[in-house]
Amino acid sequence: MAISPRLKFLVDLVTFLTISLNFFIYFYPDILNQKGQCNWHEPNQLKPKYPILNHIPDQYLQPLLLNIPDLRDQEEQNEDIHMLLFGDPQINGNWQNTKYIKKLDNYGNDYYLGHIYNVMSKRLKPSHVTVMGDLFSSQWILDSEFYNRTYRYVERLFTQDLEYKKHVLETHSNHKDYDWKQWLENEMAMDPIARFESRVYNDVYDWVYQNRSIPNYKNPLFINLTGNHDIGYSGDATWQHMARFHYLFGQNNFVINYNKNSSSEWRIVVLDSLTLEGPALQPEFLNFTWSFLEQLEQKENPNFKGSTILLTHIPMFKKIGLCKDGPEHKYYENYTREPYKNGLLRSQNHLSYETTQKVMNIVFPNQNQSGIILTGHDHEGCDDWYNFIDDEWIASKQKNSSERESVREVVVRSMMGDFNGQTGILTGKFHQNKWKFNFSYCSFTVQHWWWASKISLFITLFLQSLIKLPSLFGY
């Protein structure tokens, strides 16, 4: 049976569009972004795995190796700081009354976000990956649904090898409520100094193999920050919220020192900004976080001479107009549904002025060293400098401080489709006895383009089968 020319033309056209769409979603870093924007700052030259590729001019070879990692030679150890950051994925859940179209949307959204991570992690081979909090869309879920979303988180969004997600998969398989009461007893019984010491790490590049001395580019060190949609604001946060986050995502306050006592030392401070201010439902959380900061100041700062990367969810205080979200604190008032919460902190856009001053003085102790703050929460993103003027940290769009090094704060724009699927790229380079930090965004696009590439693929396979099947049966 002869194939209609119109059908053949239609199939060829759809096939061409499908190939174009799939090429687009996998090579979007260079298609949608300016040159160098989706790479580390001042990157090292990539080397090809196959000698024949050396005949390609370097201006074409480097983009080729960047976009097709399998053509690269084995990754060399890099002394630079290479971190990818993803803002507020906020994945939704599925319930019995959730409409099918919404379930399908959630399914696709998982893989849309996972596509961004897979493209960027394979492209850049980071040593560290940070998700800026609000991993989920709501803290008001039972342990069972918390396990369901955590399973999706490691299977669809941020995939790693089995040994790095085994704990999550086993917890999901067992589906037993976590014994948060036992965790509460253990935390309350712990001496403050012992608690702090259990949250201090040195040269850790791998949570599974903590004695590893070099970055694991295949399975980068994951840092998951607490967001208000994960544990709640302090007026909402319960022991159950905090216990299960610790159990599956890690501690909410800790410090990792690198190159300690050397000229190039630096550190990552992970701070749970949700438990810095109150009044809180569980005041103990505030005590734990402030105790962490006090111990950091007393035990780590005296011998620390390097630069700090501060990772936290709630941005620092800044006057209205510098970011989309201005300073705001709300408290429960006349709340009849849960009257015991009246007077407690309900929500906040920024940390207060006083808290910001205290935190920055502790976390950035060295006047002659740079530092950077990376936060989430404000989905639009923001970029400011904190200048130290007359013993006060003041936010501004310009770097302007004569008393000491200014500190940059980047509020990482959300990776959700409504904000064009952003990846934050942080590079740290040690130059002239100081760490210099550079931050850029690599933008994808709205999720509809990802959907279009997948739907067109199915349509193409169906249409191609219409053409191939008759010939298979001798028509």
What is the tally of structural domains in the chain? Answer: 1
Q: Which of 6-15, 415-424, 430-439 shows the lowest per-residue confidence on average (mean pLDDT)?
A: 6-15
Q: What is the DSSP string of 58-124?
A: HHHHHHHHHH-GGGBPPPPP--SEEEEEEB---B----TTS-HHHHHHHHHHHHHHHHHHHHHHHHH
**Of 193 and 4, which is predicted with more confidence?**
193
Q: What is the pLDDT of residues 129-156, one digit of tens each?
A: 999 999 999 999 999 999 999 999 999 9
Query: So what's the pLDDT on residue 77?
Result: 75
Residue 7 clears pLDDT 90, i.e. is over it: no
Q: Residues 78-134: pLDDT tens digits?
A: 889 999 999 999 999 988 889 999 999 999 999 999 999 999 999 999 999 999 999
Confidence of residue 2 (pLDDT cuts 50, 70, 90): low
pLDDT of residue 6: 84
In a domain, 63, yes or no: no
- Highest average pLDDT, of 229-233, 397-401, 462-466, comes from 229-233
Tell me: pLDDT of 475 over 90. no
Confidence of residue 473 (pLDDT cuts 50, 70, 90): very low
Task: State the average pLDDT for the chain.
Answer: 95
Token pair for 46 = 């990539």
**Is residue 422, in this structure, part of any structural domain at all?**
yes
This prediction's pTM: 0.95
- The separation between the first and the last C-alpha atoms of the chain, rounded to the nearest angstrom, is 5
Residue 213 belongs to domain spanning: 80-442
Domain of residue 371, CATH code = 3.60.21.10
Specify if 126 maps to a domain: yes
Closest CA to 437 of 259, 312, 309: 309
Q: Average pLDDT of 179-185?
A: 96
458 domain-assigned = no
68 falls within a domain: no
- What integer is the mean pLDDT of 214-230? 97
CA distance 264 to 248: 33
Give the Cβ contact number of residue 186 at 10 Å: 10
For 42-51, 266-275, 338-347, which range has the lowest pLDDT when averaged over its residues? Answer: 42-51
- With respect to residue 52, please indicate whether it lies within any of the assigned structural domains: no
Tokens coding 100: 């099918």
Using CA atoms, how far apart are residues 391 and 403, in angstroms rounded to an integer?
Answer: 9
| DSSP at 448 | H
% of the chain beyond a pLDDT of 70? 98
Give the pLDDT band of residue 467 (cuts 50, 70, 90). confident
Q: What is the pLDDT of residue 403?
A: 82
Q: Is residue 402 in some structural domain?
A: yes
- Does 472 score more than 70 pLDDT? no
pLDDT at 474 over 60: no
C-alpha–C-alpha distance, residues 304 and 297, integer Å: 10
Q: What is the mean pLDDT of residues 415-425?
A: 97
How many other C-beta atoms are found inside a 10 Å radius of the C-beta of residue 235? 25
Residue 173 domain-assigned (yes or no)? yes
The answer, yes or no, to whether residue 397 has pLDDT greater than 90, is yes
Q: What percent of the chain has pLDDT over 90?
A: 90
